């Protein structure tokens, strides 16, 4: 099978497994593309970067999350997947809508306590994300409680450990929320590090958040297609978790992941 056929087969299987999260993820992807177009065609800035990059990142991340969970939940016996589906759609949909709405005004969505309304909406976003994360943690527990004889053991462990790391570093977001700041050593610093915007001058708590949360997709894919071994899968998962933890400690010390090179002037005599 060529790559096009493999991708088409995956999409067809995904739709059959969970039609709601399939279409929700697809909608998030389309909005992510739209937000990226806005970022390239508008000049509104928030904390020194285009206002539309934040809704783009959230929409794209939600797309990958929705499709991953649509795939994994299919394996769970006696699980009320419809309730989980609509919890994800409604709560994360609210987050994306509010972030995009604020971006359209050039206003803050996160860390915005400037009015009682904004403070309430910011708290509601935190609650929404927490509910989805706790629900996903429950799914992780189900993957430990149940046996999956039809699946390779290494793949099951990749899903289990991917879910654990996802949950831990999803809640790491509270380290930013409690400070009203994603930077350590500056106030919400952003740098031109691709679209991610991670700081090149001070510690950035978003790095560990990003790396840890995407264990949900990376570990099962690597285990299933490349490692095909339980011990290697567990070892890689531990190393991956330690990498995310290392970037968190680096950020807390005020150190950037990629330090900006200081240009030195050459003086001629």
The domain total for the chain is: 1
Residue 86, pLDDT score: 98
> Has residue 114 been placed in a domain?
yes
Question: Does residue 194 form part of some domain?
Answer: no
Q: How far is CA 37 from CA 60, 61, 254, in A?
A: 13, 17, 33
Is a pLDDT exceeding 50 seen at residue 268? no
Predicted confidence (pLDDT) per residue in 86-143, tens digit: 999 999 999 999 999 999 999 999 999 999 999 999 999 999 999 999 999 999 999 9
Q: Is 46 inside a domain boundary?
A: yes
User: Is 226 among the domain residues?
Assistant: no
Q: Is residue 230 part of a domain?
A: no
User: pTM of the predicted model, to two decimals?
Assistant: 0.93
Instruction: Determine, yes or no, domain membership for 216.
Output: no
Does 182 reside within a domain?
Answer: no
Distance CA 44, CA 103 (A): 8
User: Could you report the per-residue pLDDT of 173-218, keeping only the tens digit for each?
Assistant: 999 998 999 999 998 888 867 788 898 899 999 999 999 999 999 9
Alpha helices in 53-205 (DSSP H): 53-73, 81-105, 116-145, 153-171, 173-177
The Cα 3–Cα 9 span in angstroms is 10
Relative orientation angle of helices 81-105 and 116-145, to the nearest 10 degrees:
150
In a domain, 164, yes or no: no
Rounded Cα distance, 36 and 34, in Å: 5
Judge contact between 41 and 56, C-beta under 8 A. no
* Residue 269 pLDDT: 42
Q: Which residues form the domain of 99?
A: 19-146
């Amino acid at each position: 099978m060529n790559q096009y056929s493999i991708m088409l087969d995956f999409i067809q299987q995904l739709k059959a497994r969970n039609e709601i999260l399939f279409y929700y993820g697809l909608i998030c992807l389309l909005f992510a593309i739209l937000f990226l177009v806005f970022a390239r065609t508008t000049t509104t800035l928030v904390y020194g970067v285009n206002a539309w990059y934040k809704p783009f990142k959230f929409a794209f991340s939600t797309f990958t999350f929705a499709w991953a969970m649509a795939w994994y939940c299919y394996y769970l016996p006696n699980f009320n997947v419809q309730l989980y589906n609509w919890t994800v759609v409604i709560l994360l949909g609210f987050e994306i809508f509010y972030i995009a709405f604020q971006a359209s005004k050039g206003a803050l969505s996160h860390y915005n306590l400037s009015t009682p309304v904004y403070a309430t909406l910011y708290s509601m976003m935190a609650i929404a994300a927490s509910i989805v994360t706790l629900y996903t943690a429950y799914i992780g527990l189900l993957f430990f409680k149940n046996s999956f004889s039809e699946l390779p053991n290494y793949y099951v462990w990749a899903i289990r450990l991917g879910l654990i790391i996802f949950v831990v570093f999803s809640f790491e977001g509270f380290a930013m929320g409690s400070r009203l700041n994603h930077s350590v050593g500056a106030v919400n610093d952003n740098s031109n590090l691709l679209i991610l915007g991670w700081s090149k001058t001070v510690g950035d708590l978003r790095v560990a958040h990003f790396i840890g949360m995407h264990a949900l997709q990376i570990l099962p894919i690597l285990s299933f297609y490349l490692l095909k071994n339980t011990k290697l899968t567990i070892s890689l998962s531990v190393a991956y978790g330690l990498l995310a933890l290392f970037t968190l400690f680096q950020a807390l010390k005020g150190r950037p992941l990629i330090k900006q090179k200081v240009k030195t002037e050459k003086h001629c005599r």
